[in-house]
């Protein structure tokens, strides 16, 4: 083979060899770049898919502005219904009256009696009936044992010398009331409190 051709052949082969070497080196670097480990980072939480129905449902502005009302203690009590439980009635165990009757015309009804209500008990001859009568006459904001209003027109009827004095506590109020049968108004007031006061014939 002539020298020039051999020299060209060697040069071409060297060039091809060098190109192959560079290509292989670049490929190696590319693979290394692609396969280089990525710096550890915080795991990314998967995004939950959004339901189309939730996007279509309108949101009321009032529901975003108004905070939820706190539950009342009654609603949080065990076994209570969602509605507010009624408030318990206050204790009336302090209802206690001392009744002193004089000149009733009957020895059995004269004297001093103790009357307790809620529950009914005491030395009164008819504690149950007396407590029921007082309950039926009681009105909110009114003095049950108030006397005859001044200026009332009363008949000049005399019902006898019987008198009664009632003291104690009723519905949280102190009681200090006098009863007589001096005229028609006083007789009516007395009769209204029977059997708290004894029945007396005029």
What is the pTM for the complete model shown?
0.55
Percent of the chain with pLDDT over 70: 54
Mean pLDDT of 99-128: 96
The residues, any chain, with a CB within 8 Å of residue 84's CB and separated by 6 or more, are 72, 74, 75
How many angstroms separate the CA atoms of 193 and 135, rounded? 11
Give, as one character, the DSSP assignment of residue 141.
T
Q: Band the pLDDT of 94: cuts 50, 70, 90.
A: confident
More confident residue, 49 or 199: 199
Mean pLDDT of 186-194: 98
Mean pLDDT of 80-108: 72
pLDDT of residue 91: 56
pLDDT of residue 201: 85
Tell me the C-alpha to C-alpha distance, in Å, between residue 63 and each of 24, 25, 54, 109, 144. 66, 65, 16, 71, 52
Q: Band the pLDDT of 198: cuts 50, 70, 90.
A: very high
Instruction: Report whether pLDDT(183) > 90.
Output: yes
How many angstroms separate the CA atoms of 133 and 1, rounded? 147
Mean pLDDT of 178-187: 97
Segment 147-165, tens digit of pLDDT: 999 999 999 999 999 999 9
Residue given tokens 């302090």 in the structure block: 94
Check if the beta carbon of residue 120 is closer than 8 Å to that of residue 127.
Answer: yes
Mean pLDDT of 71-76: 42
b (16+ CB within 10 A) / e for 149-167 = eeeeeeeeeebbebbbebe
Mean pLDDT of 185-189: 97
């Amino acid at each position: 083979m002539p020298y020039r051709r051999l020299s060209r052949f060697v040069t071409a082969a060297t060039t091809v060899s060098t190109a192959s070497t560079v290509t292989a080196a670049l490929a190696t670097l590319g693979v290394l770049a692609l396969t280089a480990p990525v710096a550890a980072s915080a795991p990314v939480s998967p995004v939950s898919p959004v339901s189309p129905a939730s996007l279509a449902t309108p949101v009321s502005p009032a529901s975003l502005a108004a905070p939820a009302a706190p539950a009342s203690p009654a609603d949080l009590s065990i076994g209570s219904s969602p509605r507010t439980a009624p408030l318990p009635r206050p204790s009336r165990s302090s209802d206690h009256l001392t009744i002193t009757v004089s000149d009733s015309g009957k020895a059995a009804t004269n004297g001093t009696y103790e009357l307790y209500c809620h529950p009914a008990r005491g030395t009164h001859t008819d504690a149950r009936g007396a407590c029921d009568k007082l309950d039926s006459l009681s009105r909110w904001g009114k003095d049950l044992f108030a006397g005859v209003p001044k200026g009332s027109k009363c008949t000049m009827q005399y019902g006898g010398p019987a008198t009664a004095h009632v003291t104690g506590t009723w519905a949280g109020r102190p009681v200090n009331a006098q009863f007589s049968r001096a005229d028609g108004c006083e007789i009516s007031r007395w009769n209204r409190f029977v059997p708290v006061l004894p029945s007396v014939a005029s």
